[in-house]
Amino acid sequence: MATRISPDRPIPTKPWTSGRVLTPAQRERKRYRDRVSKRQKQEKEKESLNNLHSQVAALHRLLQSQTRLDPGLQSMAMSSEESIGSCPLPPSDIHSSLHDEEPCSTLASRPSTALFDLETVAPSRQTLGVWGNGHSTAWSTISPSLQDSSSCMILEFTDELLAQWSGLSILDICSDDKLNEDAIIRGILEGWHFLEDRAYSCPLWKIISQIDERIFIQSGVLTRLTMLSTILKMLVAMTYQNNFKGVPPWYRPRPSQLHLPHNRTADYFAWPGFRERLVFSNCEILTDRFFKYFASCFRLSWPHSISNAYEINPGNGLYSFSEAFSLHLVDLSKWKMCKAFFSVFPALEEDMASENVTSPSFFTLPPDNPPPVLSI
C-alpha cells in the first residue's frame, strides 16, 4: 500500500554534499548569496583589469608624448639592479676637465624683482625604461644644446620663463594643492598635452611644463616628480605675495637672496648653500653642461616603487602624492647627487649630499618609521 504524503508536510529535499539538508527557502537564500558573491568577484576582477589597462594606456601615452618631443628617442629597458648607483652619462663627460668650461659670468645678472616678506622667511635613466626606482636616463638622445660645455642658453631661458609669474595675480593661478599635484603627476605620466584639453589651465602649469621639456624630460619619473612639484610650490608662494608658509623651511629664501641682485633661476634650487653660492658667483656654474649633469645625476632616496609615490582618487579621478612620498619630498636629506656629478663639480660637495654608490641609499637609508606600502 503506497504511503500518502500529507500536503502540510514539507517535501523532503536531497542533502547537500556536506550532508546538511536545507529547506527550499534556505536553498534559495544560499543560492542568492552565492550569486551576489560571484557577481562581486567578477566586478572586482573587471575593476582590476580596467586598472591594468589604464596603467598600460598611461605608459603608452607617455611613450607617444616622449616620441613626439624627440623622434629619435629609444627606450632603454633597465632593471633596478642595473641602475643602482650608476649615472648614465657618457664616460668622456664624466672624466672631462672643468678647465674647458667657461663660466656664465658674462651673462648680465638679472636682479630678482621678488620682494620677499622678511617676516615669513625662516632661518635658514629614461623614465620609459625604468619603473623600479626611475633614475635611468638615455643620454644618447640628449639635445645637442645640453652637450655644449660653455653655452648658457638654458639659464637665459629659465630666467625669462620664471619672470612670467611676476605678471600674474592670485586670481590667475591655481592655489589648490590637490589640483596642482594632479597637474604635475598627469603631465609627467600622460604628457603635457593634457593642458590643451582642459577648460581651465593654470599659467604656472605651462611654465612647469616648459621647464620639464627643456631640462628634465629625459630624467627619471622620480626626479621629475620631485623637481617640478617643488618648483611649482615656490612659484605659487611667490605669486601669493611671497608667502612661504607652504614651502619647507630649507627652501625659503636666504638673506643673500633677499638683498642681493641675482638670476631668478637661483631661487629654485633646493639646497640653501648652493643658492647662496649662485647669488655670490653670479650663477657662473649654471652652464648647459651643468644642467645636463644635474638632470641626470639627481637621486631621491625613495625605498619604494614609483607606483607607491602617487595615488588616484576613485571618486574624482585626480592624481595625488602618497603620504609617504610627500614626507620624502620635504626631507632635504633624501635629496642626493650621484658620484659622477661631483667628479665634474667637486666644489658642490659642500652644498649637496652625495649618493653612496657602494651602498645604495634606498637600501641603507630606510625611513625612520617605514610607511605601509600603498597600492595603486
pLDDT at 15: 59
Q: What is the spatial distance between Cα 340 and Cα 97, in angstroms, rounded to a whole number?
A: 13
Q: Are 352 and 271 in contact (CB under 8 A)?
A: yes
Mean pLDDT by 10 residues, the chain (376 residues): 51 59 81 85 78 71 58 41 45 43 46 37 33 39 49 93 83 90 95 84 93 95 96 90 84 92 95 96 94 95 94 93 96 94 94 69 36 38
Whole-number pLDDT of residue 220: 94
Q: Residue 275 — φ and ψ, nearest 5°? A: -60, -40
In angstroms, the CA 211 to CA 157 distance is 9
Supply the pLDDT for residue 124: 33
pLDDT score of 330: 95
What is the C-alpha end-to-end distance of the chain, expressed in Å?
71
Taking the model in full, what pTM does it have?
A: 0.62
Q: Please give the single-letter amino acid code of residue 235.
A: L
